[in-house]
Amino acid sequence: MKHLLGNLMLSASMVLAVLPGVGSAQTPAQGDDKARRSRAQQLMGATAPKLAELTDDVLYGDIWERPQLSKRDRSLITVAALIAMNRPDQLRSHLAIARQNGVTEDELIETITHLAFYAGWPNAVSAVTVAKDVFARE
């Protein structure tokens, strides 16, 4: 059971990394048109409908809505995980989401600096490049 839960958490973090900004709030009401589909549905619904459904219902409909951590904290954790895994494409959107969820630029830069010593200098340098671009677009 412990192994299964570990795999589930890893899978959830991977989906989160691949599909930033997908949430249950973006899940359309029944009968809504194609333009109102969730980001997960737009990106993979035709090819992997069950994965899109799980992304909407479990990852964003449950995990991101749990009260034990704020969305701000979840954003900071997600950003840290993406830096550690060196996922700059997903980091870009999650840095923007973190800013929307109340994480400051200073906190994000400090997170990157801290992670340089735990996740590797090259990962941190790459993250700074992405952060600089995201902050400039705000």
Clarify whether residues 61 and 79 are in a common domain: no
Clarify whether residues 35 and 87 are in a common domain: no
Q: Are 60 and 19 in contact (CB under 8 A)?
A: no
Clarify whether residues 103 and 49 are in a common domain: no
pLDDT means over runs of 10, the chain (138 residues): 46 49 41 63 94 93 96 98 96 94 98 98 98 96
Per the listing, tokens 């600096």 go with 113
Clarify whether residues 51 and 81 are in a common domain: no
Domain boundary among 41, 65, 89: 65
Clarify whether residues 110 and 128 are in a common domain: yes
Return the pLDDT at 115.
Answer: 98
Clarify whether residues 78 and 26 are in a common domain: no
Return the pLDDT at 4.
Answer: 43
Domain range spanning residue 48?
2-65
**What is the model's pTM?**
0.71
